[in-house]
Amino acid sequence: MSDNSLRDERLSRFSRAAVTGGGGFLGSYVCDILLASGVEVVCIDNFSTGYRSNVAHLLGQPGFTLIEADVTEEFDVPEAVDLVLHLASPASLPEFARLPIETMLAGSAGTHHTLRLAHRNRARYVLASTSEIYGDPLRHPQDEGYWGNVNPIGARSVYDEAKRYAEALTVAYGQKHGMSVGIVRIFNSYGPRMRPDGRVISNFVDQALGGLPLLIHGDGAQTRSPCYVEDTAQGVLALAGSDYQRPVNIGNTEEISVRDLALMIREVAGSRSPLKHVEADEDDPRQRRPDITLAKRELGWEPRVPLDEGLRRTVAAALRERSAQQS
C-alpha cells in the first residue's frame, strides 16, 4: 500500500475507483492517494502520453489493477466502481500538436464513455478540466464564474475546446440522469515524475540540469501560478469526496513571472545555464492565477507546499532519475 501519510479520510465513502489517465503525471499521484486511503484502484491508460514507470511501484500491490485501454473507444471495467475520475488527456502544447484529434476525442468521446461508466455503476464522477478554459484571461485572478477568452481555432484550441465541451457534457449528463458529478479546473501543476514535455517547469528543470539555455518563450513577463502535484491531487480528491456539483478551481495563488521562474529553477539546480528568449507561443496567456475561494469554502482545501520547496523536491527527483539512467 502507498505511504500512509497520503491517507485522506474523506475518501472512506468509496471502495473502488476507476482512474483514466492513471499512468499520467497527475493521475499517478491520484492513484497513490486513493490506495493509501484504502480505496481499490482501476488505472486505465493507453500510455500515449503517460508512462508505465509512473505506476510501476503500484503493480502487484493489493487493490491495484492496470487496464491498458483507450478511453476514446469503448472499454470495460470488470466489477463495480463507486468513483470515476476522468483525467486522461494530452496536456502540453507539443502533445496537442502531435495528437490533435486524440486530444479532442479524449475530452469528447472519452468524457462520454466515462460518464456512461459512472452512470451504470451509480458512481460519483469527477472530470479533470483545466485553467486553459479561461484562455488568455481578461479577468484576474480567474474565478469559476468567468467564461474565458479562448481562441477556438488556435494552437491550444484542441485542448481548450475539448475541456469546455467536456464540462458542458458532464453537467448535462448529471442533470439528465441525476448523477453526482464534479468538475475540477486544474492550474499549472509540477513535481517529480513530470517529463520535459513542453510545460514550462519541466522544460526549465531539464535544461538547467543539462547545462542548456533556459528557453523563455516571449518576453517572460507572462505569469503562472504553479501548484505542487501532491497538493493538486489532494484537491482533485477533496472534490471527489464532497457532494459539490459545480466547477472548482484547484491551484496555487502564488503567482510568478516565467522569467523569475527560470531564474529560481536555475538557482535551485545550481546551474549556470543562460536565459534565452525565443518566439512566443501562440495564444500564450499573459496572466494566470486562480481564485480559490470556492475550494477553501466548499472543500476545505488549499495548497500547502510553497514554490521554493516544491521546486527543490522536483529538481532532486530529476537528479535521481538522471543518475539512475547513467548508472
3-state secondary structure of 83: strand
| Catalytically annotated residue among 29, 125, 134, 159 | 159
Question: DSSP characters for 151-165?
Answer: -TTSTTHHHHHHHHH
Cβ contact 283:132 at 8 Å: no
Minimal CA–CA distance to 201: which of 177, 232, 175, 173? 232
Is 190 in the active site? Answer: no
Please answer whether residues 10 and 35 qualify as being in contact, where contact means their C-beta atoms are separated by less than 8 angstroms.
Answer: no
The C-alpha atoms of residue 322 and residue 20 are separated, in whole angstroms, by 28
β 223-224/256-257 pair status: antiparallel
Question: How many helices (H) does the chain have, and how many strands (E)?
Answer: 10, 13
- Cis before 94? omega within 30: no
Identify which of 177, 169, 197, 155 has the alpha carbon closest to the alpha carbon of residue 108. 169
Residue type, 62: P
Q: What is the DSSP letter of 276?
A: E
The secondary structure of 19-74, three-state, reads EECCCCHHHHHHHHHHHHCCCEEEEEECCCCCCHHHCHHHCCCCCEEEEECCCCCC
Q: CA-CA distance, 24 to 5, in Å (whole number)?
A: 21
- Residues labelled as active-site residues: 159
